[in-house]
Amino acid sequence: MRLGIFGGTFNPIHFGHLRAAEEVRQEIGLDTVFFVPSYIPPHKELAGGIPADKRLEIVRLAIRTNPSFALSSFEVEQGGSSYSIRTIEHVREAYGVTPYFILGQDAFNEISTWYQSARLFGLAHFVVMSRPDAKRPGLKDVLGGMPVSFEESDGGYVNDTGNRIMFVNVTALDISSSLIRSLRRQGRSIRYLVPEEVEDYIRNERMYE
Ligand code: ATP
Ligand code: MG
């Protein structure tokens, strides 16, 4: 069984997240991709003061029709700061597999700053998705200084536990949650940037105004 973990603030979720996750799902042959909204993102202020239950609801609406996508409220239920390593360990214990941790290139470039970053690579495969405007530095530049070692293999990289880092080029959609929030603040349309149900929910709840 191949399980993906896709973490994020999802504030709000948009077609950039959804299409990228769908392409990764197919490329890697994942049975399920768990979308895991973070409770308190350690690296950023949560814009708009949007409570976790609303971000969960938006993700639920957005993925509803995809049988391979699932919502996990694990990080929200844990409370406190959300650290990906806890989520990865939870999936390992609950399902007995090494999960595929999915993230965008912009997020991957910061991974050395993550909580217990070096240990992460022993616990999960990493799937790095291309993203417009995110540079793709050499792996050594991203992991530089971390006590980890990878060798090139199969177009990706592998470490001594057999865990891999893969780079997947996904359709470039220059959409971000920041863009959605900014359009909302300006009273402009977010149609065709998010699923229709998400758009309706955001409007009805008067979010990001
Ligand atoms: P914000 O603008 O608030 O930072 P965001 O659009 O970057 O929001 P996040 O919730 O921060 O969304 O992203 C969660 C994960 O999804 C990150 O790993 C990020 O790199 C990835 N991601 C987000 N948007 C895209 C996109 N358009 N293409 C590829 N990856 C994306
Ligand atoms: Mg982001």
Give the start-to-end residue ranges of the domains of the chain.
Answer: 3-172
**Residue 140 Cα, ligand 2 centroid: separation in angstroms?**
23
Ligand 1 proximity of 17 Cβ (cutoff 6 Å): yes
Has domain 3-172 been given CATH number 3.40.50.620?
yes
pLDDT block averages, 10 residues each, the chain of length 209 = 97 97 98 94 66 94 98 94 96 98 98 95 98 96 94 94 98 98 97 98 95
- Give CB contacts under 8 A, 24+ apart, made by 58-62: 58/10, 58/12, 58/13, 58/198, 58/201, 58/202, 59/10, 59/13, 59/35, 61/195, 61/197, 61/198, 61/201, 62/13, 62/18, 62/194, 62/195, 62/197, 62/198
From the CA of 180, the nearest ligand is: 1
pLDDT digits (tens, 9 = 90+) for 148-204: 999 999 889 999 999 999 999 999 999 999 999 999 999 999 999 999 999 999 999
Residue 15 CA: which ligand 1 atom is closest? Answer: 27
Count other C-beta atoms under 10 Å from residue 80's C-beta: 10
Cβ of 106 closer than 6 Å to ligand 1, yes or no, is yes
- Evaluate whether 98 touches 163 at the Cβ level (below 8 Å): yes
Atom 15 (ligand 1) nearest CA: 8
Indicate whether residue 4 lines ligand 1 (CB < 6 A): no
| Cβ neighbours for 172, distance < 8 A, ≥ 6 positions apart | 130, 131, 132
Best residue among 5, 15, 17 to mutate for probing ligand 1's pocket (most ligand atoms within 8 Å of CB) is 17
Does the Cβ of 55 fall within 6 Å of ligand 1?
no
Res 42: pLDDT: 62
Q: What is the pLDDT of residue 207?
A: 94
Is 184:11 a contact under the CB 8 Å cutoff? Answer: no
In a mutational test of the pocket of ligand 1, which residue from 38, 75, 177, 182 has the highest number of ligand atoms less than 8 Å from its CB? Answer: 177
3-state SS assignment for residue 54: helix
Question: Could you tell me the two tokens for 153?
Answer: 């293999």
Check if 59 has its Cβ closer than 6 Å to any atom of ligand 1. no
pTM as predicted: 0.96
- pLDDT confidence of residue 145: 87
Ligand 1 binding pocket includes 153 (Cβ within 6 Å) = no
d(CA 184, CA 178): 10
